Amino acid sequence: MAGLLAAVFVLLAAGSALAVWPQPQHLSQSPEGGCGLSADRFRFAYAECSAVSPGCEVLDQAFRRYWELLFPGRGIGESKDSPCDVLNVNVTQPGCDGYPSLDSSENYQLTISDELMLLTADTVWGALRGLETFSQLAWKDNGMLYINKTKVVDFPRFRHRGLLLDTSRHYLPLEAILKTLDAMAYTKLNVFHWHIVDDPSFPYQSTAFPDLSRKGAYNPFTHVYTAVDVKMVLEYARLRGIRVIPEFDTPGHTLSWGPGVPGLLTPCYVGSKASGSYGPVNPILNTTYKFMSEFFAEISSVFPDVYVHLGGDEVDFTCWRSNAEIQTFMRKKGFGQDYAKLESFYIQRLLDIVSSYGKDCVVWQEVFDNAVKVKPDTIIHVWKQDSGRYPNETARVTKAGYQALLSAPWYLNYISYGQDWIGIYLVEPLEFEGSVQQKDLVIGGEACMWGEYVDVTNLSPRLWPRAGAVAERLWSNRTVRNLQDAYRRLADFRCMLLRRGIRAQPLFTGYCEHEYDSV
């Protein structure tokens, strides 16, 4: 480790051989052969046999984006149709208008030779991943752009590779979210977990319940996400092959819901007198479930992904214990003093409501720990660090037959001096005792950026390039673990992020040929 920290690396301004991030499954290059890429002649094109063709918005827009990344500030020229002037893209499966899903193929193959430049993918989502790899393989010398003779066969190790943003504790402007989606696409992350509301504020502007944001947002005019904003995020993400999974966490973390929906939260008591404060969602009232049914009907129609994250974590039972009506309800149900059973009662009813709209659910691990009966396809999100004991939780979840999603070691809001990306990078999601069948149930993981001390001023440099360490662990082969090679490629990738307008903090000493332009 000391040798790594003391090493001096020259940070290149453009991609170099074998410097792709995340590392592809199979990549071979030759210094002989390849192509010079000219802004006057180069273009992307649909292969003649492709199942999708011009008019496919996902690829039409991707072609424009990646051309501009390769040749910033240049106008698109006309191809002379020589082998080095066209990257032909062949998508073998039809379909361009939908949204990516958990089961979408992201496989692709890329061939660069003197006679041919061809990208082949099962789907448009795989083609997007291949275009990103192509853009990183191009390198510059004396103002000219080159790409070596290359063969890539690539696919993700895990299907779910996500990033959580918390937009409640600090409101994140729309532009910051869109920039984050760009950077996610550069690292091949494919799920934006939008933790959109929480105790401090309710910035989601509901059409059915406008008072939620009107009375629960920091500012109902400037610190909200309108229906237009949400649609923009969904479409921006779709065009980059990124799913959007919203999280509306209940019954805890709901103080911002209370002002907009009177009677939703539990009144707290001191002795026999109301204290004037409120606790979690009141689970004993029929009006609670009527509201949840109407609210999640809207959420199910607005967000197209089949999954909704329902939270279910960190429920404080103190207020429930203080409330005489809840105590009476507990006795009638035979729950005794076990308030985890009351929480389970609520969560079970909520799961049934959301399932009735054809949605599947993701929940934090407490829902599983409290033995709530959930559908077999529910995803259990493992988040508790517990001094490194999260592998035991993953083993329990998968032994019970549920799909698991890992975030416990990847809370990027925690920072330390030095190269903390290394610990993030060395995590192995499948390092727990369990059968092959259990490990097949680990569908991936998410980096989390909670917002207590993060807003638009420090979001991007705190995320990048550290989130890239998570991205490679979830995409690349398990054997890709060489720290010196990873440092070289990640430092190179960080420079590429700066060149593309992403504020990414340095890994160590050194410089980038193209430093971040703050103007």
Catalytic (active-site) positions: 314
What is the DSSP-derived secondary structure letter of residue 94? -
Alpha-carbon 80 to chain mean position? 40
- Find, among 213, 145, 204, 211, the residue nearest to 177 by Cα: 204
Asked if residues 132 and 184 have their Cβ atoms less than 8 Å apart, the reply is: no
Q: Which residues contact 9 (CB under 8 A, 6 or more apart)?
A: 487, 488, 491, 508, 510
- Find, among 280, 258, 252, the residue nearest to 268 by Cα: 280
State the Cα–Cα distance between residues 498 and 511, nearest whole angstrom: 11
The structure tokens listed for 92 are 């073998």
Pairing mode, if any, of strands 86-91 and 139-141?
Answer: unpaired
Where does residue 370 rank: exposed (0-12), middle (13-18), buried (19+ CB within 10 A)? middle
State the Cα–Cα distance between residues 323 and 209, nearest whole angstrom: 27
What is the DSSP-derived secondary structure letter of residue 444? E
The structure tokens listed for 454 are 């993060």
Peptide bond into 22 cis (omega under 30): yes
End-to-end Cα spacing for the chain: 37
What is the DSSP-derived secondary structure letter of residue 386? G
Grouping H, G, I as helix, E, B as strand and the rest as coil, residue 493 is helix
Grouping H, G, I as helix, E, B as strand and the rest as coil, residue 487 is helix
State the Cα–Cα distance between residues 478 and 472, nearest whole angstrom: 10
Asked if residues 36 and 149 have their Cβ atoms less than 8 Å apart, the reply is: no
Asked if residues 196 and 229 have their Cβ atoms less than 8 Å apart, the reply is: no
Sign of CA dihedral 191, 196, 199, 200: positive
State the Cα–Cα distance between residues 52 and 59, nearest whole angstrom: 9
